[in-house]
Every structure is written in structure tokens, then in C-alpha cells.
């Protein structure tokens, strides 16, 4: 698998972060995972601001795994700003969250999420979901031209 592809994981819960990383790594889906812990940090990474000032913003992640419930700016806010900016407009975003509330799902798709996945509580199912996501979005799916 092409390990140069970057996944941006936006996740504030340390348990979920570790479990997601473990799942991604156990299937060698990606070795290149950037983890940010809130909405502001996610936007700073993508737009090369604040902590990530000077980062080459022409290099955008190949996939963003976005939690919805995040400190400061929530997942939906991040999504909205990503879709409004030409640099991140086309980056595939998978909402990976605990909630399966209809309004969360609808808002995510309305704001331009490419996929919505509910994190299963069972670790087996969770690992399988993350593996499938990695395989699909990094291997099967044809990404937008850069």
C-alpha cells in the first residue's frame, strides 16, 4: 500500500485516537497519519497557520477522518470551512463519529462530507470499519486530480 498518502485524523478522545491508529496500523493501511485534537488545530494544519505556519498547503491530506464532537470548532464547522476553501474543497472527508443522529448525518452530507461512518463499540467491527475505509479511500477510490 502506498504509505506516502497522508491521513489526517481529527479526534479529541485519546482512547478513540489510539484505537483508530491501532486499527490503521494493524492492516498497514497507512503509516502516515497526522493526528490533531480539535477543530482549530485541524484547520491550522490544512491552511498552514498557527502551529503549522509554513507548512506547504499545496500538500493536502488524501483523506480526512473527522470526528463531529470536537473542542473549539466542531466537526461540522471544520467541514464547512474546508469546503469553502479552494485548497481543501475536494479533499475526501469521512465523518467518523459516535453519533447516529439523523440531524448529524444530514448536516454532514449537506456540508459536503463524502461518507459518514458510525464508530462501532465492538473493537472487531471498529477495526474492520477503519480497515475498509482505508482500503476504499486510499486504494479503490480515484482521488480528485491535484
Partner 1 sequence: MKFWRFLLSMPVLLAGGYVLVSMLWIVFSDRLVLWFAGGDLARVAAMQTWKGLGFVVATGVVIFMILLAWKRHQARATMRIRQVNKQRLEDHDRIEQELNAFVHAVSHDLRAPLRGLAGFSDALREEYGEALDDKARHYLNRIRDAALDMSAFIEGLLHLSKLTRRPLQPVEIDMIALVHEVMDDIRRRAPREGVEVNIGVLPVVTGDREMLHAALDALLDNAWKFTGKMERACIECDASDTGGRVVYSLRDNGVGFDMRFAEQAFRPFQRMHPRDEYPGLGLGLVTAERVIARHRGWIRIESVPDEGTLVQFALGGRS
The residues binding partner 1 (CB under 8 A) are: 13, 15-16, 19, 22, 68-69, 97-102, 119-124, 126
Q: Rounded distance, CA 14 to CA 58, Å?
A: 29
Tell me how far, at minimum, the Cβ of 16 lies from partner 1, in Å. 6
Cβ closer to partner 1: 19 or 34?
Answer: 19
The string of DSSP codes covering the chain is: --TT--EEEE---HHHHHHHHHHHHHTTS-S-EEEE-SHHHHHHHHHT-GGGTT--TTS--SEEEE-SS-SSS-HHHHHHHHHHSTTTTTS-EEEEES---HHHHHHHHHTT-SEEEEPPSSHHHHHHHHHHHHHIIIIIS-PPP-
User: Can you give the C-alpha Rg of the chain in angstroms?
Assistant: 14
Tell me how far, at minimum, the Cβ of 130 lies from partner 1, in Å. 11
Tell me how far, at minimum, the Cβ of 100 lies from partner 1, in Å. 7
Cβ closer to partner 1: 48 or 74?
Answer: 74
Cβ closer to partner 1: 69 or 81?
Answer: 69
Tell me how far, at minimum, the Cβ of 62 lies from partner 1, in Å. 25
Tell me how far, at minimum, the Cβ of 136 lies from partner 1, in Å. 21
108, 116 Cβ separation under 8 angstroms: yes
Cβ closer to partner 1: 46 or 65?
Answer: 65
Cβ closer to partner 1: 13 or 141?
Answer: 13
Amino acid at each position: 500500500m502506498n504509505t506516502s498518502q497522508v491521513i489526517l485524523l481529527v479526534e479529541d478522545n485519546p482512547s478513540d485516537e489510539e484505537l483508530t491508529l491501532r486499527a490503521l496500523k494493524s492492516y498497514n493501511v497507512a503509516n502516515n497519519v497526522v493526528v490533531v485534537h480539535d477543530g482549530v488545530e485541524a484547520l491550522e494544519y490544512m491552511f498552514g497557520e498557527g502551529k503549522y505556519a509554513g507548512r506547504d498547503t499545496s500538500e493536502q491530506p488524501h483523506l480526512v477522518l473527522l470526528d463531529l464532537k470536537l473542542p473549539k470548532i466542531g466537526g461540522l464547522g471544520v467541514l464547512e470551512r474546508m469546503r469553502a476553501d479552494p485548497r481543501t474543497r475536494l479533499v475526501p472527508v469521512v465523518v467518523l463519529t459516535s453519533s447516529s443522529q439523523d440531524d448529524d448525518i444530514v448536516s454532514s452530507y449537506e456540508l459536503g462530507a463524502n461518507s459518514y461512518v458510525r464508530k462501532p463499540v465492538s473493537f472487531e467491527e471498529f477495526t474492520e470499519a477503519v480497515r475498509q475505509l482505508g482500503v476504499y479511500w486510499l486504494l479503490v477510490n480515484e482521488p480528485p486530480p491535484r
